[in-house]
Structure 1
Amino acid sequence: MLEKKEKVLAKKAAAEVEKAKELAKARNKRAAVQCLKRKRLYEQQIEQLGNFQLRIHDQMIMLEGAKATTETVDALRTGASAMKAMQKATNIDDVDKTMDEINEQTENMKQIQDALSTPIGAAADFDEDELEAELEELEGAELEEQLLQPATTAPAAPVQVPAGRQPARPVPQKHTAEEDELAALQAEMAL
């Protein structure tokens, strides 16, 4: 409503300016000055309306802020009430008891997992030190073999094979007794 009134007053002020121009052309200076005075009165009213609008907007912002503050306080009260209810429902002894039960179950699971991961049968009889010594011997033999190969052999030139016609290379597969046992055990566990 204030904006509409402001537009009407702006039109009236513009009309007074036009009248003042016409009266000035007609050499009626006194009437032209009166028109300019009315124009200034309209401008003052427009300025007052602008101030009123500014106050209303300021009031709206304050009300929105107050509403947000009220909602925040209500939410905090609800949260505090819920926390009080939770504290009444549970006490520290219940929490400690629950944590003890969880720790006990975790320890039981660790024991079960350790029991299941313990090697059985032939794998349990292997001596780790002997296996490590055997591995070191194999590594040493491989290193000697590499050192004894002549260094003058040039690498073979790559053969260009058209795309889609790659030669199939047979992959050597060595099966040991351990691998067979492992495969049989995995098949059993899958059932």
Structure 2
Amino acid sequence: MFSRLFGKPKVEPSTLSSLDKLNETLEMLEKKEKVLQKKIAAEIEKAKEYTRAKNKRAAIACLKRKKLYENQVEQLGNFQLRIHDQMIMLEGAKATTETVDALRSGAVAMKAIQKATNIDDVDKTMDEINEQTENMKQIQEALSAPIGAAADFDDDELEAELEELEGAELEEELLKPATSAPPSRVPPAPPIPTQKHPQTPQKATTSQNTAEEDELAALQAEMAL
């Protein structure tokens, strides 16, 4: 399918050799362009010298040669553009070819895997895996089953006995506060301290009253002002 769409890649000339050749040509054109640029600069300097020497004919000849060099530089620039365009196309074609080859290789590998893998074999393998899983589950159940004296125990009787123990423990917890709880004690109220008024001499009281009266009279005088 891919060969019909894109065709088979050619062996000669290969894409890599073509790109190498184009790179060599591009380098050669760039070198020639540099040489021509130097010649153009030299002709300009000569024309300036002849102009200063009043040799108009020689100066014009230098300018003519400069024009010829400039035309060659322009041609080299066009060649370089064409080579760049060709290189881009070849690189794109190379990427396309490599992509097609990779897809073709993947398709061949997938076809080989499909031929090597039969759906019946896959189903058979899955059945074997499921069977082994079931056998392992049965082995684990057999190993975890009680043996000896533990096999004679009745689970219902053990659960009933456990319920009786739980009921007795709950009853004991309910009765414990009524029988063993210590009597509550109310802390006694702290005693109210009695305030003792110190007895002061009558003379001190009289002097204090006189001082307060003087202070009050001074305050009234200030307010009057």
* TM-score of the superposed pair, with normalisation by structure 2: 0.49
**Corresponding position: 1:21 with 2:41:** yes
**Corresponding position: 1:38 with 2:72:** yes
Q: Tell me the amino acid that sits aligned with residue 40 of structure 2.
A: A
Structure 1 segment 1-191 matched on structure 2, within 5 A: 1=20, 2-25=22-45, 26=47, 27=59, 28-84=62-118, 86-87=119-120, 89=121, 99=130, 102-103=133-134, 106-107=137-138, 109-115=140-146, 119=150, 126=158, 127-137=161-171
Q: Tell me the amino acid that sits aligned with residue 115 of structure 1.
A: P
Q: 1:51 to 1:90 in 2, by over 3 A?
A: closer
- C-alpha separation between the residues in 2 aligned to 1:30 and 1:42? 19
User: C-alpha deviations, 1:82-114, integer Å up to 9, x for none?
Assistant: 332x52x4767x966874675365246425423
State the shift of 1:9 in Å: 0.9
Q: 1:46 to 1:115 in 2, by over 3 A?
A: same
User: C-alpha deviations, 1:39-93, integer Å up to 9, x for none?
Assistant: 1111112122212221221122112211210121012112221332x52x4767x
User: C-alpha deviations, 1:90-141, integer Å up to 9, x for none?
Assistant: 767x96687467536524642542335x946789764121232245356668
Q: 1:44 to 1:90 in 2, by over 3 A?
A: closer
State the shift of 1:24 in Å: 2.7
| Bigger relative contact order (CA 8 A; separation at least 6) | 2
Q: What number of residue pairs does the alignment pair up?
A: 145
Q: 1:112 to 1:10 in 2, by over 3 A?
A: same
Q: 1:148 to 1:31 in 2, by over 3 A?
A: farther
User: C-alpha deviations, 1:122-171, integer Å up to 9, x for none?
Assistant: 897641212322453566688899x8699xxxxxxxxxxxxxxxxxxxxx
Q: Tell me the amino acid that sits aligned with residue 32 of structure 1.
A: K
* TM-score of the superposed pair, with normalisation by structure 1: 0.57
Q: 3-state SS of the aligned residue for 1:115? A: coil
- C-alpha separation between the residues in 2 aligned to 1:16 and 1:102? 85
Q: 1:143 to 1:108 in 2, by over 3 A?
A: farther
Which segments of 5 or more consecutive residues in structure 2 lack a partner in the other structure? 1-19, 48-58, 185-225
Q: Hey, what does 2:210 align to over in structure 1?
A: none
CA root-mean-square deviation: 3.9
